[in-house]
Structure 1
Amino acid sequence: MASEPKKIIIDTDPGIDDAMAIFLALRSPEVEVIGLTTIYGNVYTTLATRNALHLLEVAGRTDIPVAEGSHVTLTAIQQDPDFSKNIRQIVLLGGAFAVNGNVNPAAEANIFGDPDAADVVFTSGADVVAVGINVTHQVVLTAADREKLASSKGKFAQYLTKILDVYFSYHFEAYDTTGVYLHDPTALLAAVNPSLLTYIEGAVRVQTNGITRGLTILYNKQKRFGEVTEWSDKPSVKVAVTVDAPAVVKLLMDRLMDS
C-alpha cells in the first residue's frame, strides 16, 4: 500500500523559480501542500502574498490557505520555543557551502536576507536539510527545455513559459549562460524525494556581520577541538553535496508538461 503523502508547508517569496516549485509540489503525489506562508526576498512580503494567492488561483487550488509572514526580520522560533520539536523537518534553500554566493562572494541570498534568523534555524535542534547553491547551480533548465515546455499542453508549463523570459535574461546578464538555475524546484524535490541528493552532516553556523555576513560554514565534526567554541555542542544538520541533476530536470519537466 502506498504511504500517505507527506504534509508540507511552503514558505515562499514568489519569484519565478518559486512559482515552478509551487506548481511542481501541486503535481507531486508524494506530498500534500497544506499551506503557503510568505516572506520578503525576491519581492516585499505583501507582494509575495499577492503572488502566492495568484499562483494558487492559476492552479485552481484556492482551497490552500496562504498566511502572510513578517514584514521585519524576525526569528519565529524565538516566539515559539517548541517549534523545532513540533515540526517534522525543515528543508530549506539556502547557503553556498564552499562555493561563491550569489549576492556577493560570501553569501547566498536567502541567508543574507536574515543571517541571524538563519543561524537560529541551523542551531535549533530541528531536523534541518539545507540545499545550497553549491548544489542548485548544477541543476539547469536549458533553452531547449523551455521550448519543450512551450510546446506542451500542460497548463502550468504554458503559464511558466510566459514568465521565464525575464529569468533567462537575468541569468544571461549575471552568469553569461543561456540556461537558468532551478534553485527552489531542487529544494522542493529534496522534500519530495530525498534520494535525488546526497548529504553530509555537521553543525552549521552563519556569519552575522562584516564583509562575510551571510556566509554558511559547515563543521563536519571529524576533529574534536580542545577548546570550547561557538561550534561546541551544536546539533547536526544535513547539507546537500551532490544532486542527480538530469533526474531533477526530467521530473520537473514531466510533471509540468502533464498538468
Structure 2
Amino acid sequence: MTKKLLIIDTDSGIDDAQALMMALAAPDVEVLAVTCVFGNTAAANVCQNVLRVLSVCERQEIPVFRGSACPLVGIGNLFSDHFGGDGLGDVMEYKDPLWEEKIQREHAVNAMVRLVSEHEMQVSLVALGPLTNLALAVRLDPCFPNKLRDLYIMGGNMEGKGNVTLCAEFNFAMDPESAYIVLEEFICPTYIASWEYSCRNALTWEFFEELIHQDAPAARFMKMITSKCWAYSKEALKSKRDVFFGPGFVSYDSYAMAACVDSSMVLESIECPVRVELQGSIARGMMVLDRTNQLKKNHSVKIMTKCDLTKLSRLLMESLRQPCKK
C-alpha cells in the first residue's frame, strides 16, 4: 500500500513531540519533512526540540527546516511558558553544540512549497503551531493550497473559550493574520482539531501514567519532559482548563495528527465556513463558525467534535514504543 506523505509544521512543545512520535510510529505514513515555526518557544529551540525527538526515535534521516521566527504582522506576544521556556519542560541538561549543522539550509516555507509541488495532490500538511509558515507559502505560491491532498490544523476554538486570551486559542492568538489567511485561502480539504474538541475528548490521568511508564526510549523521554511541567500537573490545571472541561489528560496536537493518521478516529464533525476575527481587544484571534452561511463563503472546513478514544489511546501507546523499524 502506498504510504501517506506528510509534512509536519510544528512549534515543538511537549504535545508536538507526542504528535510527531505518533506520525513516526504509523506504519503507513512517510514524513517528508518537519518544518519549524515559533510558538511554544523560539524558533531556534523548536529546531533543537525536533532534532531531539527524531534522535530518540532514531529517525534522523528526516529533514528539518527552520521557518518563521515571528508572526506575519507586528512583533508578536512573548512565548508561552506552557511547556517551559524551551518548549520541552526545561529539563534538558545537554544541548548539541552542532545542532545548526543538522538543520537544512533551505527556509521552511520554500521547502514546503517545493515538496508539495514535487508531490502534487499527495501531501497531507499537519499544522501544529501558529500558521505563519502556511500563510507565507500561499503568498509565495498562490496555487500551493490546490496542490495539497489535505490540511489538518490543531488550533482555533468553537465557542469563544480561550486558553491564552479570553476568547482565543493559543496557536491562532499568536498570529491571527496568518490564521485568517489560511482559513480564507486554503480551499483544499481542511480538518480542524479545535481546543474544545481536544479538551472534550480528554483521556484519564491514569492512562497518562500508563503511557509514560512503558519500557521504551520514547516513553522514558516523554516521562522526563513532563516531569516538571505545570501543564501536566493535575493541581495546576484545576484553575485553568479544568474550569471549562473538568479533569483529564489532553495531548492537544495529537488529536490533529491522529485524525490524519486514521480518519476513522473522528466520529462526528461540523462542516461549515469559518472566519478568524482580527479586530477587538477581546475577540482577536477567535475562530467564528458560520453555520447559517451569512458570510457567503465558497468553501467550508470540517471541525472535529467527537473522537474515538479507544483508537486514540492505541495510537498514543504505540507512539511511545519507539524506536521501531518500519
Structure 2 counterpart SS, 1:92:
strand
CA distance in 1, matches of 2:34, 2:12: 11
Q: Distance in 2 between matches of 1:52 and 1:39?
A: 11
* Alignment counterpart, residue 156 of structure 2, candidates 72, 95, 102: 95
d(CA) in 2 for partners of 1:154 and 1:99?
Answer: 40
Q: Which residue of 2 aligns with 1:216?
A: 287
Contact 2:212 2:223 in 1 (8 A): yes
CA contact (8 A) 1:146 1:161 kept: no
Aligned partner (choices 155, 179, 183) of residue 217 of structure 2: 155
Deviation at residue 55 of structure 1 after TM alignment:
1.3
Query: Deviation of residue 141 (structure 1)?
Result: 4.2
1:27 lines up with 2:19 in the alignment? no
Aligned-partner Cα distance in 1 for 2:67–2:41: 13
- The correspondence for 1:171, drawn from 212, 237, 246, is 237
| 1:206 and 2:276 correspond | yes
* TM-score computed with the length of structure 1 as normaliser: 0.89
Q: CA deviation at 1:53?
A: 1.4
- 8 A Cα contact 2:191 2:301, kept in partner: yes
- Matching residue of 1:194: 263
Give the corresponding residue for 2:315: 251
Deviation at 1:69?
A: 0.9
- Hey, what's the Cα distance between the residues in 2 that align with 1:180 and 1:36? 26
For residues 36 and 248 of structure 1, the distance between their equivalents in structure 2, rounded to whole angstroms, comes to 22
Contact 1:138 1:245 (C-alpha < 8 Å) held by counterparts: no
Contact 1:123 1:203 in 2 (8 A): no
Residue 320 of structure 2 aligns to a residue whose secondary structure is helix
Identity of aligned residues (%): 32
- Structure 1: how far apart are the matches of 2:145 and 2:22? 26
- Within 1, Cα distance between the matches of 2:202 and 2:302? 23
Which of 125, 141, 144 is equivalent to 1:80?
A: 141
Structure 2 CA distance for aligned equivalents of residues 239 and 66 of structure 1: 29
Distance 1:18 1:215 in 2: 22
1:213-238 per-position Cα deviation (integer Å, ceiling 9, x unaligned): 011011124x5x5xxxxx22331111
Q: Is the 8 A contact 1:21 1:188 kept in 2?
A: yes
- The answer on whether the counterparts of 1:142 and 1:179 sit within 8 Å (CA) in structure 2 is yes
Give the deviation of 1:126 after TM superposition.
2.4
Answer yes or no: is the 8 Å Cα contact 1:131–1:240 preserved in 2: yes
* Preserved contact between residue 11 and residue 43 of structure 2 (Cα < 8 Å): yes
Matched, 1:182 2:251: yes
TM-score (normalised: structure 2):
0.71
1:228 maps to none
Give the aligned partner of residue 189 of structure 2: 127
Contact 2:8/2:33 (8 A) holds in 1: yes
- Matching residue's letter, 1:252: L
What value does the CA root-mean-square deviation take over the aligned residues?
2.0
Q: Is the 8 A contact 1:12 1:39 kept in 2?
A: yes
